[in-house]
Structure 1
Amino acid sequence: MASSRDRQRKLARAKLDRQLARRAAVAKRRRQIRAGVGAAVVLVLIVAGSAWALGAFDSEPEKQAAEDVCLWTAQDGAVNTNLKDVGEPPTTGLPTSGTRPMTITTNQGGPITVELDQTDAPCGAASLSYLAGRSFFDNTTCHEITAEGALRCGDPTGTGLGGPTYSFFDENVPSAPEPSPSASPAPGQPATYPKGTVAMIGNPPGSNGSQFLIFFKDASPAKPAYSVVGKVTGGLDVVEKIGAMPTVDNGNGAKVKPKTQVLVQSVTVGEPGAAPADSPAPSPSASAG
């Protein structure tokens, strides 16, 4: 009989202990919830206070200064008399995506239309647009047919030494081709500068100005050094015809100058996203920088 009562007491005690443990756990969870809510409220107040202090709730927030897109390095026209001063393009507010059309009119037929790449070469596209808008290229010559298979244009002096009184750095130079036993790219590898590529060329390399190359055949130099700025979209046959011309001495002992003069009559650049002009005649909208 005594043992039965002892067992009942033990069971009752165990039940009470379980109830007390559950109550303690419930009370602990409640304290944790209250603490979490309190911390969240404090965090919200801190964030709101910081935002207020920084002016997030001001009715007229301050405008942030526009960041520079391109850096133009001034060149001394007194030191290099081949340079032509037409000022410099803006450094801010320049398009950094999409394309814009460029039209090159020559005495060899055409026009040659180009799609400028504002995503990978925003500074090259901006420079060409700016210079075209100031008639910088009008009545200049394409003074060289390069050994790599490109027509070199954009120098008002026709010497390879001319340009504007500013320069800018490379921005879209392709990677070197994979090693190959021959001068051509490895099998299946595309050319570094496919036919129709338009690229900037600097003097010295990496110091770009106004001179550009139009490739009339695929090229894969061992050490690419030209910033790709766009591609030909029409008139490539004109470029190929010029590329097949005989060459003569350019006055410096190099037989690279087209025997027949290649005169650039005008270069116009349209608005971003516009289609190339069908007519070679420049228009106010096409010549705007």
Structure 2
Amino acid sequence: MTPDPDATTATPAVDYRDVWIRLGDTEIVHDLSLSVPDGGFLGVVGPNGSGKSTILRCLFRALSPSGGQVTVHGTDIVATSLRDNARQVAALTQSSALTLDFTVAEVVATGRLPHIRLLRSATAADREICERAMIDAGIGGFGHRRFAELSGGESQRVLIARAFAQQTRVLVLDEPTNHLDVRHQFAVLEAARARGITVIAALHDLNIAAQFCTELVVVSDGRIVRRGTPADVLTADTITRFFGIGCHIVTHPRLRVPQIIFDEGTTR
């Protein structure tokens, strides 16, 4: 079959080119190159302190690369204003805690700020987008509640709804399932996947990553050490070598993706 030229030349949604990141005197990320296609769902996995969150932070301008280039749909993010970047990339971070006494509806509405012109109030369309985002995040009836009074899991879903309300083409999720029970972990990731946009998520739960991600990268010591489909990446050798624990790999009976049964105790 003749290859589709458009498929091979299409501009990736996200492209890291020879990126390295130094924080203080320490180089955290080393010579990283990674492309994510439009509509892909990439899982970034690895042990604690491997550099996963640092890699993601470049996308939403929380930091700039010390070297190399990061582009979103072909545009260098360093050359993009914060406002324009926020129209392209929404992020749920690990440090998204809010202490102000806002209602849930007010918190979610802040996701519309990159799209609202100065001195213009939110429109009916903006409010409808926020309502839909809250429903997708499983908090459809929470609008009147005070954010400060919510549980950790409820707060997490509000912040996910805020990211959904931003209506960007790229969604960055840094440990999105923190504080969520099993049902809401699956519901939130299903809602993210259903949006049909590019999703890049740092995940600790490897079994969930295998079920939702089209591609995985394993990060260790600031470098990508494995990349491919979940079946390619989640092998017993990779788990033992980079996560330090023995395991057995089985196949999900319906989804046909790898699932990991961990052995008791670590290997190092």
Normalised by the length of structure 2, the TM-score is 0.28
Instruction: Give 1 or 2 for the bigger CA radius of gyration.
Output: 1
Normalised by the length of structure 1, the TM-score is 0.27
The structure whose residues are more often helix, as a share, is 2
